[in-house]
Structure 1
């Protein structure tokens, strides 16, 4: 087995939950990005003792996709989502005692599958709330059988419904059956009502075009009270005390402006129940919410740190690391708070730890990365520089991380004695950021490259998370300007500091990073610093923003905001949508002879950056008789799922890097 295959077999923890008495932790694990172990995804539920090193043990077999565990309020059982009734096809809710080895008990009908992974207990333990769609009518099934099943937009919507399962009897209650598409929900503390977020239709564009409605529904009587509508999509969503909190952009008219915690006080009169900004979003960004007793805990991205705060209160955790999953709970006999956190770093695969908010020891509960325990892949170095003014704006600080391979000879200050051949990796989003983490390159390329003697540079450009609204908003109409300039400045900083070899550079990126990698091909070396990229590896990237807006799942939202506006709102003489579109810069780049060899990687069923984007660039390269490799993966979407495809992609990347910038 190759190193790449070993790395791809690593189990990554997710969906951590602390028990009601804070003495145990439950979580699930899956392969990176949930790729398949065989012909379907697999996930395992684990149980661990708080503060006990190495105590994590599996409580499900790993033969099914068991995930999203939630503690029963008495702490003696968990409910979880699983496909064990119809492996690889659909999921239901199961109940498993944490005492003994009894098989999980089915709670919801297999023939009525869940539509989302969210499940949540009522405080009494009597009900579990979940979301599912209505069963297909016999008329619809008959039409599908004879293939008389045309889909007419706006007709025959299949709505997601908010439902309850009464655990003692397993009876199903539909709480919300009006024509609205339920997205997420949260119980009140008494277990008498549920707040839910919904949008007008099941169309994936609906929450961007129609907004997200915030409502409550009573368990008894099923009365629905519509509170307000946020004009865009919303994210984490909790009902705590008299307030509903959710995460959404600070600018309700833009999907590209960072994330802030919003709140609605339900004790106000109906005319005064308005959304208000509660915390974060100016110099940092909200990332996730959890209830802990009467408090709400918020995960915050701040610069290169990941933090946990009590909402509008003290900081519980702060570290320069990526938090992959977390939860928090107060102990029953004190005001101490237990934090359960999944994290890793350059040399440590992601593991589950517990600590306390008062600064107790970080205790590792799991050992999923034991095959790599003690192995040193590289040494991380934080780098920063000032941005270059593109449109007359004031410069801002830019951050990146250079990881030098462990085999590199270093000076007394830890820097490599000689500049290193380097892969520059550009993250997607753009609302994302790379930190000190085990897998910054999505599919385990980084540890393999470090082992072979390459440096890896990750860059956080304007539009990324962690710096608040102003920094994130550079992505609005900023394609090909601020972002690309920032990549060049950070690469040049790594060169000037002696990390990266200016003669041996490859640029690569996924999604938004794929678009910037394509753009690097058509602008290669067109700056004042005198270096260029020896090759490019765009993965599921964009080369034509207008075409992406008309064809992508996110066309009406991000697709239109990134280039500035949608083509249908543009006069025919206005070509501003071409800015940042590599396909429109190709002819000039070809004449200049600056386009490097390109390895294009793309999922054939990608509905976020459709494969036509890569195909267009392949046609241009083919017509120009320039060197390229064009690889598409059948059945794959924006993220690869099939293991052989993931391995194939990684092997091609490693060969391409070896061929164009050499190794040790």
Structure 2
């Protein structure tokens, strides 16, 4: 289709992320990312723009790999991340008046998080520290270079071999560059937060749990000079993003008390106080954006103002909003949102303004400033306007399908030149997770397919997040059950429309979506083509090879492999490979530790042995998350092969 959004969009679209707003709310600094077409290298630099003046953002640093800016509390400096000569992420400092940036840190394993102290004299930093060989896994000292594994959690997708590395917390002095390590326990420590007077640091750690088996953690408080950590979150299973009250005697966190519902899938807001049990202040009608397990930098910020209001980004029914939560009367008010996705938010100290990344179904990302009192929004960027004018995105229809008495949220992506009197192929797309959701944001998979002439169906079946605790947990120990029936009910509903060609149906998904794609073609012959991305196929082997096979798998699949073997086999797509009649394309990153490539290897052999037409494409040096942040040429290749497969068979 002429001027469609094709695989080359990975070169063409500009990304904006990581905004930080000045203390007085007058300016915003953010990261702009783009791809240099000739070299296929990704670049990023910091941009600055004023608020309230419709100003075109100006370059603030030269790049080429600058990111993660944050204003100092006095507004005089920007701290940001820039790789050193060894490509290790370090903190650099630049005056808000401009000039040359100065390197501030020299961490051996780089910087993962950084937060300014209230007086702007120190920065709390999260960085890896290697323990002694006896404390974990290490290279042996002999010439054989073997690696000895003693713990289950010795690798992590996207990071690779972790060995005896643990995330620890440091305090860095801005004037001298000196550092002081303040946490030392075995375990990861992250999400630090300064107390208002700068004497204490709250943080999250998994140091006390059986971290090999459980994905649980707790909130702790230590002196900023270092002390024995004091646990504040007694009774909570998982927590994220601690923030102090203005008076410094309480902490608010995203948290969960449910061992089968972590804070990243369905969390609540809790208020913590030393020697008190946590007090929950929200219900499950909203889900705070808590990021991903162990990756606090992916979480959105939260702030507690002098009027005892909390401001945060949270989701409800697959829509995102900026919320104002009153701790005095328990009310939760939507400040803005509902038609776009809000994320990566930064607040002024008095919480009268915020800046955030916003995405719509027709625009990938922009920086917006919102007045938290009036809800008025100002869009500060528009980098992709020209491209999107020439390559018109698909429109989106949102509708409800019925699944065993439940409302199932669906979205149909419609080609730009849609003609209701014509006939169109339909491709079903399935999200990952399973505790995730499709939002009102820009989805490359849906847009590439829809603007190339396909109707594209996106369903949030049972198991999806943002619809409440019971809805989210209903898929546990039932993968391929009610979730599959919800999805197929939506397919049947859309297929009944006159412009849908039921003889040209495709299906695709990634991760859990890849699982469900493989499951579907083993249960139903109606699909004419399937593209299976980075799936889990055999739950029995997934349990022992995935970096989250134990902690995640035991909750989702029904206990250990030995305890739940019958269920593992029953719910594994590979069990039904001999029933498949649909042509299958497998796409998988070779460095995937979340859903290891051995899952696709097994499925490919099973399909070919059953005389099913299948192809298997391996993506070198690509982890599970490579479609978001992997090599640009590999991302383009993924979309290109997906589109070619559907063009061939549909």
Shift in Å at residue 212 of structure 1? 1.1
Shift in Å at residue 287 of structure 1? 1.4
Asked if 1:644 is matched to 2:633, the reply is yes
Asked if 1:613 is matched to 2:599, the reply is yes
Residue 335 of structure 2 aligns to a residue whose secondary structure is strand
Residues 51 and 462 (structure 1), Cα distance of their counterparts in 2 relative to 1, 3 Å cut: farther
Gaps of 5+ in 2: 155-162, 291-300, 327-331
Shift in Å at residue 53 of structure 1? 2.6
1:302-341 paired onto structure 2 within 5 Å: 302-312=316-326, 313-329=332-348, 337-341=352-356
CA distance in 2 between partners of 1:6 and 1:152 (Å): 41
Q: Name the counterpart of 1:49.
A: 50
1:227-626 paired onto structure 2 within 5 Å: 227-228=232-233, 232-241=237-246, 242-255=249-262, 258-266=265-273, 268=274, 270=275, 273-281=276-284, 283-288=285-290, 289-291=301-303, 293-294=305-306, 295-312=309-326, 313-329=332-348, 337-359=352-374, 361-375=376-390, 376-388=392-404, 395-409=405-419, 416-438=420-442, 440=443, 444-498=444-498, 500-525=500-525, 532-570=526-564, 575-587=566-578, 589-590=579-580, 595-626=581-612
CA distance in 1 between partners of 2:491 and 2:257 (Å): 31
Residues 55 and 402 (structure 1), Cα distance of their counterparts in 2 relative to 1, 3 Å cut: same
Q: Name the counterpart of 1:209.
A: 214
Residue 314 of structure 1 aligns to a residue whose secondary structure is strand
- 8 A Cα contact 1:256 1:558, kept in partner: no
Write the deviation string for residues 239-284 of structure 1: whole angstroms up to 9, x where unpaired: 3343222223451354499422343432x5x2xx222322132x33
Q: Name the counterpart of 1:19.
A: 22
- 8 A Cα contact 2:272 2:279, kept in partner: no
Asked if 1:114 is matched to 2:114, the reply is no
Q: Name the counterpart of 1:63.
A: 64
Residues 43 and 229 (structure 1), Cα distance of their counterparts in 2 relative to 1, 3 Å cut: farther
Residue 206 of structure 1 aligns to a residue whose secondary structure is coil
Shift in Å at residue 621 of structure 1? 1.5
Pairwise CA RMSD: 3.0
- 8 A Cα contact 1:480 1:579, kept in partner: no
Shift in Å at residue 185 of structure 1? 1.4
Gaps of 5+ in 1: 389-394, 410-415, 526-531
Q: Name the counterpart of 2:198.
A: 191
Residues 305 and 135 (structure 1), Cα distance of their counterparts in 2 relative to 1, 3 Å cut: closer
Residue 646 of structure 1 aligns to a residue whose secondary structure is helix
CA distance in 2 between partners of 1:461 and 1:61 (Å): 45
CA distance in 1 between partners of 2:379 and 2:264 (Å): 36
- 8 A Cα contact 1:387 1:397, kept in partner: yes
Asked if 1:150 is matched to 2:147, the reply is yes
Write the deviation string for residues 275-301 of structure 1: whole angstroms up to 9, x where unpaired: 2322132x3322144125444322221
- 8 A Cα contact 1:211 1:230, kept in partner: no
Write the deviation string for residues 455-512 of structure 1: whole angstroms up to 9, x where unpaired: 2211111111111101111121120101111111112222234464322111000101
- 8 A Cα contact 1:46 1:57, kept in partner: yes
CA distance in 1 between partners of 2:237 and 2:141 (Å): 34
Q: Name the counterpart of 2:72.
A: 72
Shift in Å at residue 658 of structure 1? 0.8
**Paired residue total:** 612
Residue 606 of structure 2 aligns to a residue whose secondary structure is helix
Write the deviation string for residues 613-652 of structure 1: whole angstroms up to 9, x where unpaired: 1111111111122211111112211022122211211111
- 8 A Cα contact 1:216 1:226, kept in partner: yes
Residues 504 and 285 (structure 1), Cα distance of their counterparts in 2 relative to 1, 3 Å cut: same
Q: Name the counterpart of 1:628.
A: 614
Q: Name the counterpart of 1:412.
A: none
- 8 A Cα contact 1:13 1:30, kept in partner: yes
- 8 A Cα contact 1:321 1:345, kept in partner: yes
- 8 A Cα contact 1:321 1:437, kept in partner: yes
Residues 622 and 179 (structure 1), Cα distance of their counterparts in 2 relative to 1, 3 Å cut: closer
Residue 569 of structure 1 aligns to a residue whose secondary structure is coil
Q: Name the counterpart of 2:159.
A: none
Asked if 1:130 is matched to 2:130, the reply is no
Write the deviation string for residues 360-384 of structure 1: whole angstroms up to 9, x where unpaired: 5532211221332434222211111
- Could you tell me which of 226, 234, 237 is aligned with 2:231? 226
Write the deviation string for residues 13-51 of structure 1: whole angstroms up to 9, x where unpaired: 22222211111112223469xx99968754322222123
Residue 389 of structure 2 aligns to a residue whose secondary structure is coil
Residues 194 and 488 (structure 1), Cα distance of their counterparts in 2 relative to 1, 3 Å cut: same
Shift in Å at residue 214 of structure 1? 2.1
- 8 A Cα contact 2:236 2:256, kept in partner: no
Please, what TM-score do these two structures have when normalized by structure 1? 0.85
Residues 37 and 556 (structure 1), Cα distance of their counterparts in 2 relative to 1, 3 Å cut: farther
- Could you tell me which of 89, 94, 113 is aligned with 2:92? 94
Residue 596 of structure 1 aligns to a residue whose secondary structure is coil
Shift in Å at residue 329 of structure 1? 3.0
Q: Name the counterpart of 2:648.
A: 659
Residues 462 and 13 (structure 1), Cα distance of their counterparts in 2 relative to 1, 3 Å cut: same
Residues 482 and 235 (structure 1), Cα distance of their counterparts in 2 relative to 1, 3 Å cut: farther
Shift in Å at residue 133 of structure 1? 2.8
Residues 256 and 187 (structure 1), Cα distance of their counterparts in 2 relative to 1, 3 Å cut: closer
Shift in Å at residue 159 of structure 1? 2.9
CA distance in 2 between partners of 1:228 and 1:276 (Å): 10
- 8 A Cα contact 1:37 1:643, kept in partner: no
CA distance in 2 between partners of 1:496 and 1:215 (Å): 55
- 8 A Cα contact 1:230 1:252, kept in partner: no
